[in-house]
A and B are shown apart, each in its own frame.
Chain A
Amino acid sequence: MFWRLIRGALFRQKGKMLMIAFTIALGASLATAMLNVMLDVGDKVNQELKTYGANIQVIPKEASLLGDLYGLGEDSGAAERYLRESELGSLKTIFWAFNIVDFAPYLNVRAQLLDESPDAAKTGGEEIRLVGAWFAKHLDLPTGESVDTGMRNMKSWWEVDGEWLTDADEDAAMAGSLLAERAGLAAGDRIRVGAQGGTRELTITGIFNAGSDEDERLYVPLKTAQAMAGRAGVVSSVEVSALTTPDNELSRRAAQNPKSLSTKEWETWYCTAYVSAICYQIEEALGDSVAKPIRQVAESEGAILEKTQLLMLLITILSLAGSALGISNLVTAGVMERSREIGLLKALGANNAPVSWLVLTEVLLTGAVGGAAGYFAGLGFAQIIGHTVFGSAISIKPMVIPLVGLLVLAVILAGSIPSIRLLLSLRPAEVLHGR
């Protein structure tokens, strides 16, 4: 009889039940879309943010000490300490290798722009900051894999007038816009540059505008810089662009002193892509190095990610709250319309519990249909958001299914509270006899 009552109520009140199902479907679809995007957005936003540069800098340990003690920067020349270029491939062999999107080594060389250049108009004898780097270096890793990495991917926002350097252009250079302006350089010009290891004639392939003090520098392939400095096979620093998880209390404690963590905490930290954990593993891979997060970048990334996720969480909560309100109105209106029927059931001897269960079952069944429809619609919305905002598909997370199920259940129960209270307050004498 119970199911006859349910069936009768569902099929003979199709309009109202469809409205309830639609309301739940709307909430469930938004929740599904937002939860899927939220769980996937970390990688997506991280990927987006990687286009804005490195978030980890690796320097020799002793240079770092001098920096910490005396405030000497890597360009000061005070610390003639280097990292070995041959070890750099091991960056892609650490536990978080797949999170390291790009990296580029740099060698800073004190150099002079000489006036004996073939073009007499060029300014001579000016001290400049010459930097050797990888631009799009092809590396064959010890694991048998290969990778292309360097500045070109990491400095994708640079505006280059002319051509980007390639690692094979050993007699070419790229000049920063401020240096080029001061020295009157343009793409295609030839300059002579002198350094400790000798003098070299270079062709300017492009003038770049980075919007930072990099615009004062002259970039050359790493091999050229090593030759000019007379220091083969070394680099001054490495910039690393890594996908990271936003910091939390654990990662902050670990960043200060990993040894302060318990074994379990240490394992959790080590196996989570916190920037401090990645730095720790880079230091393990590169001998006598110190890897430091570029705090402004790392924290900004974390903040953006957290805010994006918070925004989506709020949208999810608001959409579900909206659904709960909608359900509340619809079910309460339904109970009011059916007050005589409910009063009759009570008059015939039904207690509050079976009548409440009857109404709740109707709404739960309707909600299950609406929730299922909403889930699949939500998967579609997630893909639309993925392609529109991030330009790629959102991966479907199976854990969203139970989450949405629980949320729909909570929304239905919360939305049904006012109607159940109304139902409990209905007295058969009042609804059947008006008193």
Chain B
Amino acid sequence: MNLLEIKGISKIYGNVKALQNVDLEVKRGEWLAVMGPSGSGKTTMMNIIGCMDKPTEGAVILDGKDISKESARSLTATRREKIGLIFQQFHLIHYLTAVENIMVAQYYHSMPDEDEALRALDRVGLLERAKHLPSQLSGGEQQRVCIARALINYPMLILADEPTGNLDEANEGIVMDLFRQLHEEGSTIVVVTHDPEVAEEAQRTVVLEHGRVARIAYNVIAPPIIL
């Protein structure tokens, strides 16, 4: 059963065709990697899947609903309810503590709950760093706060943009362990990455080139899809 269906989407910025007639399906519980060189359309695809942009043509069906023609307000609501975003740059609010950064996502979703936010931090191994500001955390710790924030509202789809792009090897390992754990628990994950090692962790890798799907690879070592 598909959580996400992309049907013939194109995105055109002026004379630039960022995406051209792309089709893609993501099953519930699937871990998908999107790879490709710079300018291949990865970020554009992530923005469209993440309800932060709309395609020029085509349809995007998320959880059975076509979101490609929705208003900005409706897209915001969809993003809030169904998607957890993980960023390469972490994007933590510098004047809020780790736990407060997680509570911000709760606040705009429903209601802040500090205990729940602390449990989310505990899950990523940062309970003792709850009251620390982002500037007092390492890159890996900041990314783990970002992951906890993405998970706090129980999203249907976790969308990660180069989640290990700014991390050293040790921290990359910790973050990938978290992704594996989430996948085992049934989360649907789409990871945009340059890193083949990260992509290999996914069940399937979609390679974009010049805004088109160039090829799709199935990774044999990945754990099975939970339906």
Secondary structure type dominating chain B contacts: helix
- The answer to whether A4 and B100 touch across the interface, beta carbons within 8 angstroms, is yes
Interface segment, B59-67, B85-93, B119-127? B85-93
Nearest A residue to B77 via CB reads: A349
List chain A residues, Cβ under 8 A from B109. 348-349
Q: How large is the interface on B (under 10, 10 to 19, 20 to 34, 35 or more residues)?
A: 20 to 34
A350 CB within 8 Å of chain B:
yes
- The answer to whether A433 and B76 touch across the interface, beta carbons within 8 angstroms, is no
Give the complex CA separation of A433 and B85 in angstroms. 12
- The answer to whether B103 and A1 touch across the interface, beta carbons within 8 angstroms, is yes
B115 shortest CB reach to chain A, Å: 14
- The answer to whether B44 and A348 touch across the interface, beta carbons within 8 angstroms, is no
Give the complex CA separation of A434 and B43 in angstroms. 9
Give the complex CA separation of A2 and B112 in angstroms. 10
A13, A345, A435: which contacts B104 (Cβ < 8 A)? Answer: A345
Give the complex CA separation of A347 and B105 in angstroms. 9
B47, B87, B91, B112: which contacts A435 (Cβ < 8 A)? Answer: B47
List chain A residues, Cβ under 8 A from B94. 12, 341
- The answer to whether A432 and B91 touch across the interface, beta carbons within 8 angstroms, is yes
B52 CB within 8 Å of chain A:
yes
- The answer to whether B95 and A9 touch across the interface, beta carbons within 8 angstroms, is yes
List chain B residues, Cβ under 8 A from A340. 91
- Considering only residues 381-435 of chain A, those with a C-beta below 8 Å from chain B are 427-429, 432-435
Given A5-B104, A429-B47, A433-B47 in contact, is the A349-B93 Cβ separation under 8 Å?
no
- The answer to whether A349 and B80 touch across the interface, beta carbons within 8 angstroms, is yes
Nearest A residue to B18 via CB reads: A435
- The proximity string for A residues 1-31 relative to B, scoring 1 for CB distances below 8 Å and 0 otherwise, is 1101100110111000000000000000000
List chain B residues, Cβ under 8 A from A341. 93-94
Given A4-B96, A5-B96, A349-B77 in contact, is the A435-B103 Cβ separation under 8 Å?
no
Give the complex CA separation of A354 and B80 in angstroms. 14
Give the complex CA separation of A44 and B155 in angstroms. 71
- Considering only residues 323-373 of chain A, those with a C-beta below 8 Å from chain B are 340-341, 344-351, 354
Given A1-B112, A427-B52 in contact, is the A348-B95 Cβ separation under 8 Å?
no
Give the complex CA separation of A346 and B91 in angstroms. 12
B46 CB within 8 Å of chain A:
yes
Give the complex CA separation of A393 and B20 in angstroms. 77
- The answer to whether B93 and A435 touch across the interface, beta carbons within 8 angstroms, is no
- The answer to whether B52 and A347 touch across the interface, beta carbons within 8 angstroms, is yes
Nearest B residue to A7 via CB reads: B95
B25 CB within 8 Å of chain A:
no
- Considering only residues 102-152 of chain A, those with a C-beta below 8 Å from chain B are none
Give the complex CA separation of A321 and B66 in angstroms. 48
- The answer to whether B100 and A429 touch across the interface, beta carbons within 8 angstroms, is no
Interface of B with A (CB < 8 Å)?
Answer: 13, 18, 43-44, 46-47, 50, 52-53, 73, 76-77, 79-81, 85, 87, 89, 91, 93-96, 100, 103-109, 112, 149, 161
Interface of A with B (CB < 8 Å)?
Answer: 1-2, 4-5, 8-9, 11-13, 340-341, 344-351, 354, 427-429, 432-435
Q: State the 7 A-B residue pairs at the shortest beta-carbon distance, nearest first.
A: A349-B80, A12-B95, A8-B95, A1-B107, A429-B52, A429-B47, A349-B108
16 residue pairs from A and B, CB less than 8 Å apart: A1-B104, A1-B107, A1-B112, A4-B103, A341-B93, A341-B94, A344-B93, A347-B79, A349-B77, A350-B76, A427-B52, A432-B52, A433-B47, A433-B161, A435-B13, A435-B18
